[in-house]
Structure 1
């Protein structure tokens, strides 16, 4: 009976997937031109008015002619990524934006980080989003939640030392540790009787005591899991404290990475795939492991982008090239049928993609680091990448039967004044590529876009003067798409025709917009 039910379910999934594909193909036949979209998600985009910037936000102060042209030629609005007044995390925000209610589907961020780092997870496993940090052993105070942002050399070595460690009191559990990015790693605990309903050890701010894990309900599983994870934390400290790498860091006067902060305990979510939900073939560029893991959880293919690191040293051009190539590939064959249980080994779509998700992390890092000028200049770098992306997509559109749109928004606000996530809404703009080309001055302008790679600038806030912003609105007597917005910023977006909306509506807006082109 179980085999019959399983076979029936797989047949229904197969039929549903094929029906979605035929629907997409019918849209192509009806309109004569298939629309595809590149969604640029700027992590930590939103901010508040800053006195040193003359009362402007960082994105309003930055010189961003491409973002302004996109807002001017497209439609705009203000978006609350999850709901008004909620200071959300990137994981819950991304779920919401991609059409998955986090209050229903969210199971902790640890699984996203671990999946993105390359750790396989089975039902019943628990995982943590983790930091290498510095602990004052004498006082139990976490003096630095980030042992070192530049930890790419040491991180994998310490992860290898922790991977496979044995818990003396719980020998039947398997511990897997894999390096992620910067100071982060993924941690998975495998075994029977584990619960994701426990707290973590991360105090969330520097100079606070390391926390003891406690159960968040009265179940025996949660109580047992808390004991397992507390012993895991102690064993990790023991291994890290005596590791030669930390002995050398201490001698060099550097922060030692003698503790792993465990937070966001979670299990792998089980949800409809992105294609099943939206009928769009998705791909993603996301060097930040938590976002990549979230994408994998939704069956979104993760693209390689050489030099894209998910931090300040990232090569934004590489991200633009990866997304543009994926969106330029022909859609001439049906997609692979998703088979439950074969999730991680599924090859990419054989016929290309029509939804490309490009994640940018550096803006959020600047907000957390309270670096005003760096956030401003990082926006200018992102603007340059938007121009490169538009250049590549315009080449593809000019030589094929595909029209492209570019959408830019954020997952939350990370004001530099606060150094943490906040509840302010973020700007949202979507624009048809051909209208964008008109707004920047025509085909000759976009054809002249340099594709040279570049790095984010190393800047300080000393002596900063706000750059003169280019008013794209002066080039045209009226906005191309029907709303009065002529620049990309929080206050400008508030005047857009989309009004203020919740993140759960974003995919509907994008799909409706694509049907127009």
Structure 2
């Protein structure tokens, strides 16, 4: 038996007027999801515990089977694992986004954040800018590390945990009231604007009509995580297929195999087909029992407030991942169980994460459930099936015990 989770980051949404009161998932053409829905268990699951911030960190930990209330120590430490940073117990890590701020204001605190990802800047371009920050912000006890795209890392030796705001939560807002209270971090952010705003690479980006990556933004503070071994916990050998350092870091911490897919970039135009093939190869050739396929695109489109591209990202997942993975496993003679779900909603209306329960679909190739005509938020809410502790859903996938109620 093989097991697959297709994690459609931020896919869940709210009814949108321009879509006739439908969500992007309802509006998307998803023939594979809807075909499987008729023979699947469909329900709602709370992936983010009450009282915790609705981040991809807590939500994905939950989906992979780790209770966030027990295992969560911050987002950036998980990304540090992916980058290969060996944190000391007294280290504090911070996510360092390379963001776009408005440029007309005189004072740094009066600027407005307009893009948390600087037009999904490439890793190659971002690395040039992070190197400039390393040189310009050099300070004992602080170290920058290059990550992926706009997502990078700052380590503060013997640091302290600080409450900081994710940049995607404050798009279009004046940044002054959200700046760090810590003087060193605030000064670094202000100086980062001076370093980056007139950097040749950013001047070239503006000529091309791209948003300049003109400031560092620190958030997601945390300490070194200690995750239990996924294989020892579940008696399954697992593989992670993701372009995002957060997910790769969870895999490192859990002792799962990370699979690199060329062209996988976390954006709308990621290598969907390559991810699907990597999962099939892991399950049919490399001895893995479980594959976690993470696709960031719906979340990014939600943050951008782009309805049509969010729909397109969902259709791409359906066409290039869900259908081909299922067909390939069937052709290989493998029985399998496939769980499809978002980690959290990223509604177009707010352009950030929310903590409401999300729809899930669990398909078993060996048997047919009395499912629904479609897989979407509305259909899932009608079934009456609801999992309140999201970290237990993977036990249901593995048939260890029934978690629905």
TM-score between the two structures when normalised by the length of structure 1: 0.70
- Report the counterpart of residue 119 of structure 2 in structure 1: 149
- Report the counterpart of residue 390 of structure 1 in structure 2: 326
Question: Unaligned regions of 5+ residues in structure 1, if any?
Answer: 1-34, 215-225, 330-350, 436-479
Contact 1:46-1:413 at 8 Å conserved across structures? yes
Residue 354 (structure 2) pairs with residue 490 (structure 1): no
Residue 174 (structure 2) pairs with residue 213 (structure 1): no
Equivalent of residue 501 in structure 1, options 388, 395, 403: 388
2:146 and 2:97 mapped to 1: Cα distance? 12
1:129 and 1:86 mapped to 2: Cα distance? 18
Superposed CA offset, 1:247-281 (max 9, x none): 44466675433310111111220121212222221
Equivalent of residue 287 in structure 1, options 220, 243, 268: 243
2:197 and 2:19 mapped to 1: Cα distance? 44
- Report the counterpart of residue 199 of structure 2 in structure 1: 243
1:57 and 1:212 mapped to 2: Cα distance? 34
- Report the counterpart of residue 228 of structure 2 in structure 1: 272
- Report the counterpart of residue 100 of structure 1 in structure 2: 66
Closer, same or farther: CA 143–44 of 1 in aligned 2, 3 Å: closer
1:301-380 maps to which residues of 2 (within 5 A)? 301-329=257-285, 352-380=287-315
Superposed CA offset, 1:466-513 (max 9, x none): xxxxxxxxxxxxxx31x3423111121234474443312211211217
1:52 and 1:212 mapped to 2: Cα distance? 35
1:303 and 1:491 mapped to 2: Cα distance? 34
1:248 and 1:373 mapped to 2: Cα distance? 28
Per the TM alignment, residue 406 of structure 1 is displaced from its structure 2 partner at its CA by: 1.3
Closer, same or farther: CA 162–139 of 1 in aligned 2, 3 Å: closer
Contact 1:159-1:179 at 8 Å conserved across structures? no
Superposed CA offset, 1:304-335 (max 9, x none): 11222110111211010001100113xxxxxx
1:369 and 1:148 mapped to 2: Cα distance? 11
Contact 1:311-1:361 at 8 Å conserved across structures? yes
Per the TM alignment, residue 60 of structure 1 is displaced from its structure 2 partner at its CA by: 1.6
Closer, same or farther: CA 36–43 of 1 in aligned 2, 3 Å: same
Contact 1:36-1:514 at 8 Å conserved across structures? no
SS of alignment partner, residue 4 of structure 2: strand
Question: Unaligned regions of 5+ residues in structure 2, if any?
Answer: none
Closer, same or farther: CA 200–87 of 1 in aligned 2, 3 Å: closer
Closer, same or farther: CA 46–198 of 1 in aligned 2, 3 Å: closer
2:318 and 2:207 mapped to 1: Cα distance? 42
Per the TM alignment, residue 395 of structure 1 is displaced from its structure 2 partner at its CA by: 2.2
Closer, same or farther: CA 240–377 of 1 in aligned 2, 3 Å: closer
Contact 1:116-1:180 at 8 Å conserved across structures? no
- Report the counterpart of residue 163 of structure 1 in structure 2: 134
2:51 and 2:89 mapped to 1: Cα distance? 34
2:289 and 2:401 mapped to 1: Cα distance? 10
Residue 159 (structure 2) pairs with residue 194 (structure 1): yes
- Report the counterpart of residue 141 of structure 2 in structure 1: 173
- Report the counterpart of residue 74 of structure 1 in structure 2: 40
Per the TM alignment, residue 143 of structure 1 is displaced from its structure 2 partner at its CA by: 4.0
Contact 1:42-1:361 at 8 Å conserved across structures? yes
Contact 1:82-1:504 at 8 Å conserved across structures? no
Per the TM alignment, residue 412 of structure 1 is displaced from its structure 2 partner at its CA by: 0.6
TM-score between the two structures when normalised by the length of structure 2: 0.87
1:49 and 1:367 mapped to 2: Cα distance? 13
Q: Please provide the CA RMSD for this pair.
A: 2.7
